[in-house]
Structure 1
Amino acid sequence: MPLAVYMLGLAIFAQGTSELMLAGLLPEMAADLGVSVPDAGLLISAFAIGMLAGAPVLAVLTLRWPHRRALLVFLALFVAMHVAGALTPGYGVLFATRVAAAFVYAGFWAVAAVAAVGRVPADARARAMGIVAGGLTIAGVVGLPAGTAIGQHLGWRAAFWTVAALSALSMVGIAATIRGGGPAGPVSRVRDELRAMAAPRLWAAYGTTALSVGAVLVTFSYLGAMLTDTTGLAERWVPAVLALYGAGSFLGIAVGGRTSDGHPARTLYAGNAGVVAVSVLLALTAGSPVPAIALVFLLGAFGFVTNPALNARVFALAGDAPTLAAATNVSAFNVGITVAPWLGGLAIGAGLGYPSTAWIGAGLGAAAIGTVALGQVRTGRAAEADRPVVNV
């Protein structure tokens, strides 16, 4: 792998830490800003809003920019938003900086994906994307608890300063490893990008992305509460179990990076089938600590083994106009991240209990398998349509 791919993963780690760390800082932020904890929680929703919109918009606006310039501009703006957020005394300004930071973070994701796959052979795309996306996995395993600890001991603003410093450091790495004054490769036109987006098989892939992510996140979002309320674990053991989930996700993304280049569809089938099986078993055994803890590890492993294939697949489907396709895939990830916890909340609010989230996860995973099959059918039809006609 080129060193630039690892630098892109480092940048995703720095920015992904900001995406995740607020979950552990809400009480401190609410007290300092003079708002309720639910209002502070809306800062997480603000980030999701920025992520949904930022990737496709910025992908089009910077289509003819060199990758190096786009990545450094996005990171500089991300740093500036965190400096502003750390200095602001008011909730409203902080909310606006969260939306803006997520907006450019999504743009960074989109360009980073294109930059990473453009620097490796076609049969190493999934592995490269596994390294880039692995930055977010490490953010969940290391950045989330570290950011929470910094915020609890030094104040939430210190956590924002730390993210700004890490992001600035990643700018140095990207500036040193991604060179060139012009675009890194042939530049497609907006018209070509939009034409590529019309392919039904590409939208089937987006459906797979949103459903696969949602199948895992609907359970993970309420996992801590399930472990204490249903499984009966003491609160002090919850971080250790969540660390097992992180270890499983790290293993999954490493395996998926190796298998997705040669067998993308099989990887997607196997990963989603594993999520379905683990979710069903978790729903049935959530009241027993030993199987529940083991299943949490497996949920992370099967949930993340699909990640490299989900990221790399759109490049094979989009052909010579991949930028907008990759950006929309980032939005598809965030659709799953946003909608799945909402569905789980509806089930819990209806009195169905925390294990109901795992049943929803199993249903979403099964639907994801259906979209993989649909995408294969669509791809086969497209190949048939492109085959030249021979007159005998």
Structure 2
Amino acid sequence: MRTQLWSLTLGNFAIGTGALIVPGMLNELTADLHVSAAAVGMLISAFALTVCIGGPFLASWTTAIERRKLLTAALVLYAVAHVAAAFVPGYESLLAVRVVTAIGAAIFTAQAAATAGLIVPPDQRGKAIGLVFLGWSIAAVVGVPLGAYLGAHIGWRLTIALVGAMSALLAVWVWIQIPPRLFVAPMDRAAWQSLFGNRPLLLAIASTALQAIGQFTIFSYMARVLKDFIAASPTTISLMFLCFGMTGVLGNVIGTRVMDRVGAARVSLVAMGCMATALVFWPLTRDSLAVTVAMILLWGLGCFAVNSAQQTRLVGLAPNLASASVALNSSALYFGQALGAFIGGIIITAEGTSRLSIIGAVLVVIAMAVSHLAASMSSRALCVKPA
């Protein structure tokens, strides 16, 4: 069973590396494609917006497909699109290919979490989903820093192609490990109506979107931010992403270990608190490597823990709606990434990088308030539930 979960974890590692690699190669992409930082940010927005819009529809349309076939096909599509991206002639074609890669991500990320819930007993769902989302943390600690380093030394095209090759290999492993004849419950109109009538669920999903908007307002342009604030070299930028990813893994591991005991909502709130604190104090990082490292570590501690906590929280709130709620939550996450990158692009074009963290911090604090409201409403609903 654990090997099956690890195949999904590493599948998410490939997805996460491909999704998050653009911010680390921002300087190389702007130089090679002769476009602005805001234009490169649109690569993030296009990817994220495709997942946001396509996720729920793809989740509904693919319920009749067994999970092994679906997850493998998603990784194969992801692999082919990344290899194709390495050969595009210019920015516009790269933007189009990023949309195609996003379709694979839209399917895999949400359905890997739903599949993990099918593989393990109900009392182990929190740990299982946390393990599957650990793949994103591993992508942050290994894939993104390595991608930033390789992008600066061997070029972004070959780096993107390597992501495609890795995705193809992991598609084979997923096919081998995931058992056949696994299906999720069909998501008909009644399921979606039940979901949209559940206020605590919708508020929890809204908090996912808000914290993602806040984070990606600045994270989308992190390479430029680091260059502006501490004159970071390509190697230093890679090391900063490594620091971010290391505490991302640590935060996800800690969150996963305590989630079934203290509750996913509390883990989510603490994780957002770490991120908000880092963004509030980010202006102090200017010309200070030590403060920059401290804020990067604190930010990373909450960044990936919140994702697995939110997914687990939704499954626990309404297990019968898990496939729909997880898909919608993934859409909210990617919507937040898209809007955050767009907002950040506007700010960086008009005023540079100095104000990005303040806007991000405000949005994450609002996300905390919405998340707390969702938890309160859910608790009240349980209290009045008839025996």
Normalised by the size of structure 1, how large is the TM-score?
A: 0.86
Distance 1:226 1:91, change over 3 A: closer
Q: In structure 1, the residue corresponding to 2:261 is in which secondary structure?
A: coil
> Per-residue CA shift, 1:293-347, capped at 9, x if unaligned?
2122111113333232112111122321221211111111112212234444445
Distance 1:364 1:162, change over 3 A: same
Q: Does the 8 Å contact 2:149/2:234 carry over to 1?
A: no
Distance 1:91 1:292, change over 3 A: closer
In structure 2, give the amino acid aligned to 1:197: L
Q: Equivalent residue for 1:373?
A: 372
Deviation of the 1:224 alpha carbon: 4.0
Q: Equivalent residue for 1:325?
A: 325
Distance 1:23 1:369, change over 3 A: closer
Is 1:168 paired with 2:162? no
C-alpha separation in 2, matches of 1:256 and 1:21: 24
Q: Does the 8 Å contact 1:63/1:323 carry over to 2?
A: no
Deviation of the 1:78 alpha carbon: 2.1
Q: Does the 8 Å contact 1:134/1:250 carry over to 2?
A: yes
> Per-residue CA shift, 1:90-138, capped at 9, x if unaligned?
6554433221210121111111110012222333323222222221222
Aligned length in residues: 384
Q: Does the 8 Å contact 1:28/1:152 carry over to 2?
A: yes
Is 1:126 paired with 2:118? no
Is 1:206 paired with 2:205? yes
C-alpha separation in 2, matches of 1:197 and 1:227: 41
Deviation of the 1:366 alpha carbon: 1.9
Is 1:255 paired with 2:254? yes
Is 1:220 paired with 2:219? yes
Deviation of the 1:203 alpha carbon: 0.9
Q: Equivalent residue for 1:297?
A: 297
C-alpha separation in 1, matches of 2:92 and 2:240: 35
C-alpha separation in 2, matches of 1:148 and 1:64: 39
C-alpha separation in 2, matches of 1:363 and 1:44: 21
Structure 1 residues not aligned, in runs of 5+: none
Distance 1:363 1:312, change over 3 A: same
Q: Equivalent residue for 1:190?
A: 188
Matches for 1:325-364 after TM superposition, within 5 Å:
325-348=325-348, 351=351, 354-364=353-363
Deviation of the 1:223 alpha carbon: 4.0
Tell me the percent identity. Answer: 32
More moved, 340-349 vs 362-371: 340-349
In structure 2, give the amino acid aligned to 1:214: I
Normalised by the size of structure 2, how large is the TM-score?
A: 0.87
Q: Does the 8 Å contact 1:55/1:106 carry over to 2?
A: yes
In structure 2, give the amino acid aligned to 1:147: G
Q: Equivalent residue for 1:97?
A: 97
Deviation of the 1:173 alpha carbon: 1.3
Structure with more relative contact order (C-alpha pairs < 8 Å, separation 6 or more) = 2
More moved, 341-350 vs 325-334: 341-350
C-alpha separation in 1, matches of 2:225 and 2:160: 30
More moved, 21-30 vs 118-127: 21-30
Q: Equivalent residue for 2:268?
A: 268
Structure 2 residues not aligned, in runs of 5+: none
C-alpha separation in 2, matches of 1:79 and 1:223: 26
Distance 1:383 1:296, change over 3 A: same
Is 1:147 paired with 2:142? no
Q: Does the 8 Å contact 1:193/1:323 carry over to 2?
A: no
Q: In structure 2, the residue corresponding to 1:322 is in which secondary structure?
A: helix
Q: Equivalent residue for 2:240?
A: 241
In structure 2, give the amino acid aligned to 1:135: G
In structure 1, give the amino acid aligned to 2:193: R
C-alpha separation in 2, matches of 1:281 and 1:370: 19
Deviation of the 1:374 alpha carbon: 1.4
C-alpha separation in 2, matches of 1:47 and 1:315: 25
Distance 1:195 1:317, change over 3 A: farther
In structure 1, give the amino acid aligned to 2:358: W
Larger radius of gyration: 1
C-alpha separation in 2, matches of 1:205 and 1:282: 26
In structure 2, give the amino acid aligned to 1:76: V
